[in-house]
């Protein structure tokens, strides 16, 4: 099939539709606007529902209702709106409802700005809302990968009855790239016997709920969630390895940042430095497995992020202090450039021996 040009934000929308998502609830915010624009047109074409809510708070709770009723459903927003959704997301996680939430991260804190950033990493992978829960967090780095990951996002959400967050930024959302959409497949959404769709007489009562008033029961619920998260952490780690063979230094970056770092890695290789890249595709679960081998062969690590250093904590845990882990970041909507990353690599490579 021929490739077509698509914006990242539109690709999210088309990817969702092709994954069988038929319900979108959301509130306008920059820089993800092309996504709701796209779905406002696209959803009616496939018999779906696009609803503009009165707030992100309401949107997340509409998702709660729709997911509880058994639908493939999603919402999207950016930083400040995602903060407002945290209440609903916590309830969704507690009630074990499948859904997809897109965060087109922008500069923060507060109103920050609308430029690309990765400063919501902690919020996404460490919880964000109240209580002890996890989101499966996917971080694509190209428009094609967005298309592919949207299908996976909905499938993972269903497989684990867990909310999935897609983390991207304005660069990915706004950039146009050629994508291969593939054949439109007949989507079979898995049965959801737990969905509250109306109780059959004599049938089981379905309750979409996150309240466990008795501490013993709430502990049991948390332990059950914990077991699920442990399985996800074991089974669902995804990453891309780039020029990692024989690498003495490993750059770690996700999303937009990883694209920039690839160019820096190529330049470093051209200068004779054995540098590779690990690009986490799942930032939760964090791809610890890839570090197990690499930490034995690499001398040091450089984490590059569009924040003040958030994923670096997970890299340090993965490397378990066996090797030094350095950081380079740009913040507030500023992008690192390959030349500056290369300079960092030169400074740090071989313990700073290379000049």
Partner 1 sequence: MKTVFTRPESLTDMPMHYCPGCTHGIVHRLVAEIIDEMDVYERALGVAPVGCSVFIYNYMDIDMYQAAHGRAPAVATGIKRVLPDRLVFTYQGDGDAAAIGTGELVHAAARGEKITVIFINNAVYAMTGGQMAPTTLLGQKTTTTPFGRDAAANGMPVKVCEMLAPLDGSAYLARVAVNNPKNVLAAKKAIRKAFDVQMSGAGFTMVEVLSACPTNWGLSPLEALKWLEEKMIPYYPLGEYKTPATEVQP
**Binding status of residue 45 toward partner 1 by CB under 8 A:** no
Cα separation, 245 vs 229, in Å, equals 31
**Binding status of residue 64 toward partner 1 by CB under 8 A:** yes
Q: Which is nearer to partner 1, 97 or 298 (CB)?
A: 97
CB of 223 to partner 1, least distance (A): 21
Q: Kindly report the number of other CB atoms within 10 A of residue 188's CB atom.
A: 7
Cα separation, 159 vs 21, in Å, equals 15
Cis amide leading into 262 (omega within 30)? no
Alpha-carbon distance values, 149 to 13, 32, 144, 255 (Å): 12, 17, 9, 13
Instruction: Enumerate residues 204-233 that contact partner 1 by CB under 8 A.
Output: 205-211
Instruction: Enumerate residues 86-115 that contact partner 1 by CB under 8 A.
Output: 87-88, 91, 95
Instruction: Identify which range of 30-38, 76-84, 191-199, 304-312 contacts partner 1 by CB under 8 A.
Output: 191-199
Q: Which is nearer to partner 1, 23 or 254 (CB)?
A: 23
**Binding status of residue 197 toward partner 1 by CB under 8 A:** yes
CB of 20 to partner 1, least distance (A): 13
Contact 104, 168 (CB under 8 A): yes
- Interface mask toward partner 1 for 20-39; x: CB under 8 A: ---x-x--------------
Cα separation, 97 vs 213, in Å, equals 20
Count how many Cα atoms sit within 13 Å of the Cα of residue 296 in the half-sphere of its side chain. 5
Euclidean distance between the first and the last CA atom of the chain, given in angstroms as a whole number: 48
CB of 217 to partner 1, least distance (A): 13
Among 40, 181, 196, 233, binds partner 1 (CB under 8 A): 196
Among 21, 35, 73, 125, binds partner 1 (CB under 8 A): 73
Among 8, 31, 36, 68, binds partner 1 (CB under 8 A): 68
Contact 60, 93 (CB under 8 A): no
Helices (H), 236-326: 255-270, 288-297, 311-319
Q: Which is nearer to partner 1, 40 or 51 (CB)?
A: 51
**Binding status of residue 175 toward partner 1 by CB under 8 A:** no
CB of 65 to partner 1, least distance (A): 3
- Alpha carbon 268 to its chain's center: 28
Q: CA nearest 35: which of 17, 60, 55, 58? A: 17
Cis amide leading into 285 (omega within 30)? yes
CB of 196 to partner 1, least distance (A): 4
CB of 68 to partner 1, least distance (A): 5
CB of 33 to partner 1, least distance (A): 20
What does the block give as tokens for 325? 């882990």
Instruction: Identify which range of 192-200, 282-290, 321-329, 341-349 contacts partner 1 by CB under 8 A.
Output: 192-200
DSSP character string of 146-180? HHHHHHHHHHHHHHHT-EEEEEEEHHHHH-EEEE-
**Binding status of residue 57 toward partner 1 by CB under 8 A:** yes
Among 199, 220, 224, 234, binds partner 1 (CB under 8 A): 199
DSSP character string of 262-287? HHHHHHHHHTT--EEEEEESEEES--
Which residues lie near partner 1 (CB under 8 A)?
A: 23, 25, 49, 51, 53-55, 57-59, 61-71, 73, 87-88, 91, 95, 196-201, 205-211
């Amino acid at each position: 099939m021929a490739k077509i040009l698509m914006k990242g934000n539109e690709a999210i929308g088309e990817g969702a539709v092709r994954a069988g998502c038929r319900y979108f609830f959301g509130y306008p915010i920059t820089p993800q606007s092309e996504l709701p624009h796209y779905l406002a047109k696209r959803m009616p074409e496939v018999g779906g529902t696009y609803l503009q809510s009165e707030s992100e708070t309401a949107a997340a709770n509409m998702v709660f209702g729709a997911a509880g009723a058994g639908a493939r459903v999603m919402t999207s927003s950016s930083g400040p709106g995602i903060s407002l959704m945290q209440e609903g997301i916590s309830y969704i996680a507690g009630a074990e409802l499948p859904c997809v939430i897109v965060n087109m991260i922008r500069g923060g804190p507060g109103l920050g700005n609308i430029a690309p950033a990765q400063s919501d990493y902690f919020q996404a992978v460490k919880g964000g809302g109240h209580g002890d829960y996890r989101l499966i967090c996917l971080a694509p780095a190209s428009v094609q990968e967005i298309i592919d990951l949207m299908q996976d996002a909905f499938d993972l959400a269903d497989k684990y009855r867990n909310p999935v967050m897609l983390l991207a930024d304005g660069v990915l959302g706004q950039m146009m790239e050629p994508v291969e959409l593939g054949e439109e497949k007949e989507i079979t959404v898995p049965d959801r016997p737990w969905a509250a769709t109306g109780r059959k007489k004599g049938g089981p009562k379905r309750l979409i709920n996150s309240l466990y008033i008795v501490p013993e029961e709430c502990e049991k619920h948390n332990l059950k969630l914990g077991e699920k998260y442990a399985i996800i952490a074991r089974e669902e780690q995804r990453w891309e390895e780039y020029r990692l063979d024989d690498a003495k230094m490993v750059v770690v970056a996700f999303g937009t940042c990883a694209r920039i770092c690839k160019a820096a890695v190529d330049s470093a290789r051209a200068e004779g430095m054995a540098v590779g890249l690990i690009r986490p595709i799942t930032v939760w679960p964090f791809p610890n497995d890839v570090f197990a081998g690499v930490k034995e062969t690499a001398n040091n690590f450089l984490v590059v992020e569009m924040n003040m250093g958030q994923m670096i904590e997970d890299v340090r845990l993965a490397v378990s202090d066996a090797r030094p882990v350095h950081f380079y970041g740009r913040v507030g909507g500023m992008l690192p450039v390959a030349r500056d990353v290369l300079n960092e690599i030169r400074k740090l490579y071989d313990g700073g021996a290379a000049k």
